[in-house]
Amino acid sequence: MCLFCKIANNELTANKVHENDDFVAFHDINPKAPVHVLAIPKTHVDSFNEVTPEMMADMTAFIQEVAEKVDVKESGYRVITNVGENGGQEVKHLHFHILGGARLRWGHFADADPKDFL
């Protein structure tokens, strides 16, 4: 069982922000912004490549509720999911990073030259 499945099943504790029957959101233990919350489905899904349109529709509404609960809905926030090794996915369980609470930079691409990736 993966780390996020253990959190979803209450086998590991997490600083939860919001939860319903299908999803749970909790603070990231290594935050990259003043507000950094992870939203996950309680059912194991490896990555965005495997998510169904139906689950994504429900996840969208859940993420919007989380943004309101952590008070970034009006000021703005970023939603990110990483897919696979090259995308930076570290935990093989679908999760969305919700970042806000400050004006966010586009750090690792801020000074990138597209020619470096070709």
In whole angstroms, give the CA distance from residue 58 to residue 107: 30
Written as six digits, the tokens of 83 are 């897919």
Radius of gyration of the chain (CA): 15
Distances (CA, A) of 72 to 7, 51, 84, 85, 102: 24, 25, 28, 29, 9
Candidate list 18, 36, 95, 97, residue with the active-site label: 95
**Whether residue 108 lies in the annotated active site:** no
In whole angstroms, give the CA distance from residue 42 to residue 102: 29
Q: Supply the residues annotated as catalytic.
A: 95
